[in-house]
Copies of this chain bind each other. A is one copy, B any other.
Amino acid sequence: MSDKLSEQMICAMSGGVGGAKLALGLARVLRPGALAVIANTGDDFDHLGLRIWPDFDTLLYTLADIANPETGWGRAGETWTFMRTLSALGGEDWFQLGDADLAVHVIRTEMLRRGLSASDIALRLTQAFKVEHVIAPATESCVRTVLNTEDCEMPFQDYFVRERCAPIVRGVRYDGAERAQPSPVFRRALSGDCRGFILCPSNPLLSLEPILSITGVRQALRDRQAPLVAVCPIIGGEAVKGPSVKILNELGEDATALGFAARYSDILDAILIDPADSDHGADIRKLGVSVVETPILMTTLDDKKRVANDVLRTLEALA
């Protein structure tokens, strides 16, 4: 399949595990090639000489139906011989690298060394894994999420994996975002080659903002023609997974469905919220954002397809 976006394509912006659930639903209900998932690159990092793209890989494995259903990240049926040996030798073992997963990091790093762009590599990997949709990095530039914690600044993976989100966050910045350009796939979507945008239910500060902070992206989304619908990552004041509510609270921001809608009211046409948050519906509508109230917790594949269909119907109604 080609990486060419047709006018009929849907462009979904996503982080890892949470967003990947909706991406999988969309991938299953849309015809092959009709979906472009734009992956957050703010978590990307270099580890043991390997370039690792956590969110892209989670999306890749999820859409290839080989993701580990227990964790949401990594591969099902993975083996851990490398990691055990690395630990035994005193190597850096705080980031889990399965033996099969490792092949992807090694191949990607080798392609980067040979001068391939991040977009070309993403295309080759999705083809190698027989994913029939596009998964593209948000940018080919280096954008890195950095957390300003009480003690020090730390890169995302240090905060997220090594420190298990324990430090109190005082600020988040997206290093390199102001110099970054959207990747070719993302740029074409933003230029109008797209029939609908979706904000997947991902952590706003750690997954969506690193995408939206890329130069020109937020303005292009304000100026766009196609509708934009979000699925709220917060249900009943709790994040389904991950530290978004913790961080929002530490930053003194509104960690509710309303807060999420308000943060993106300049670009949102509509938002799907859970019935648990129905008391926020009226206030969200006051922001000029349409509200669709529907169960958005996605556990089974059927849940994912149902929410995907809800999103697509909402986009169609707005078109």
Contact = CB atoms under 8 A, between A and B. Distances in A.
Interface in A42-59: 48-50
Q: Specify how many copies of this chain sit in the oligomer.
A: 2
Nearest to A128: B89
Contacts of A32: none
A84 to B, nearest CB: 8
B81 A107 contact: no
Contacts of A84: 100
A113 B82 contact: no
A104 B103 CA distance: 15
A287 interface: no
Interface size grouping (class) on chain A? 20 to 34
A99 B85 CA distance: 9
Interface string A131-163: 000000000000000000000000000000000
Nearest to A77: B81
A252 interface: no
A79 B99 contact: yes
A264 to B, nearest CB: 37
A48 B110 contact: yes
A113 B49 contact: yes
A86 B99 contact: no
A102 interface: yes
A104 B90 CA distance: 11
Given A82-B103, A99-B82, A90 B128 contact: yes
